[in-house]
Chains A and B, each alone.
Chain A
Amino acid sequence: MAECTNAGTVPIARAVETGYNGSLMKPFAVDLIEEDWQVVWRFGSSGRVEHAVHRRGGVLRRAFHGGFSSQSIEVASIAEGLKATGRKYRLDESWGGVIPLADDPGPVQKIVAPLREALATLSQSRWQITVRSRSNRRLIFNRREHPQIVRWLHHTLNLKLTSPGDGRTLEFAAGSFDQPTFHLEGLLARVRNGLDAEARRRPFGSLEGVPVVLGPGDGAIFFHEVLGHSLEADYIQQGLSPFSVADLGQPVLGGEITLRTRLAGDPFFAHIPCDDEGEMAGEPVLVAGGRLRGILADTFTARTFSLPGAGHARTAGFFSPPWPRQFALYVDAGSADPRDIVAQTRRGVYAREFGDGQVMFGRGQFQFVLRDAWLIEDGEITVPLGGVTVAGPIRETLRQIGAVGNDFRLDRGASFCTKNGQTLPVRVGQPTVRIDRLTVWEGIDV
Chain B
Amino acid sequence: MFDAILAAGRENGFAVVEVFAEKEEGVHFDLSPLCPSIHRQKTHRLAVRAWAERGDPVGFSLSTADAARARAQFARIRPLPPGPGKGAAVHLPAAVREVRCDIHDPAFEVFAADPVAELCSRISESLISFPGLKLVAARVSKTRQKRYLANSGGFAGKYRRTRFTLSITLRLDQRVLEVGETRVYASGLDPENLVARAHHLLEAQDGGEASFSGSELPLLLAPEAAVVLLRAFSRFCRLDLPTEGDRWVASPAVTIADHAALDGQVGSYPFDDEGVPGGETEIVRKGMMATRVNNLETAASGNRKPTGNGVRRGDPVFPRIGFSNLFIKPSVIPLDRLLSAVPAGVLVSSLRPQAVDPAIGAMTCAACGFELAGGEIGRAVRFQLVAVPRTVFLRIERVSRDLKFFCQDPNLGAPYLLAPARILGAARLQL
Contacts and interface: CB of A to CB of B under 8 A. Distances in A.
Contacts, number: 235
B181 interface: yes
Given A2-B193, A9-B174, A70 B40 contact: yes
B38 A7 contact: no
Contact of A2 (B64, B174, B197, B317): B197
Interface in A20-68: 20, 22, 46-58, 67-68
B290 interface: no
Interface residues of A, number: 72
A12 B38 contact: no
A50 B58 CA distance: 6
A100 interface: no
B215 interface: no
A321 B314 CA distance: 20
A7 B43 contact: no
Nearest to A163: B242
Nearest to B173: A9
A441 B69 contact: no
A361 B176 CA distance: 8
A443 B355 contact: yes
Interface string B63-89: 110100100010011101101110000
Contact of B176 (A10, A69, A70): A10
Contact of A7 (B73, B201, B317, B356): B201
Contacts of B69: 55, 76
A3 B56 CA distance: 39
Q: How many B residues are at the interface, by size bracket? A: 35 or more
A100 to B, nearest CB: 15
Interface stretch (B105-113, B121-129, B256-264, B399-407): B399-407
B184 to A, nearest CB: 14
A367 to B, nearest CB: 7
A207 to B, nearest CB: 13
B159 interface: no
B242 A52 contact: no
A71 B35 CA distance: 17
B354 A441 contact: yes
A69 B174 CA distance: 32
B201 A68 contact: no
B426 interface: no
Interface stretch (B3-11, B145-153, B338-346, B360-368): B360-368
Nearest to B366: A7
B99 interface: no
A145 interface: no
A56 B136 contact: no
Contacts of B78: 103-105
B194 interface: yes
A386 B358 contact: yes
Interface in A313-350: 319-321
A406 interface: no
A51 B50 CA distance: 10
B318 interface: yes
B40 A76 contact: no
B42 interface: yes
Contact of B80 (A51, A102, A361, A389): A51
B220 to A, nearest CB: 16
Interface string A369-394: 00000000000000000110101000
9 contacts: A2-B180, A8-B176, A8-B177, A12-B171, A50-B59, A52-B61, A167-B241, A442-B355, A446-B355
Interface of B: 30, 32, 34-45, 55-64, 66, 69, 73, 76-78, 80-81, 83-85, 136-137, 169, 171, 174-181, 193-194, 197-198, 201, 205-206, 223-224, 232, 235, 241-244, 315-318, 350, 352-359, 361-364, 368, 404-408
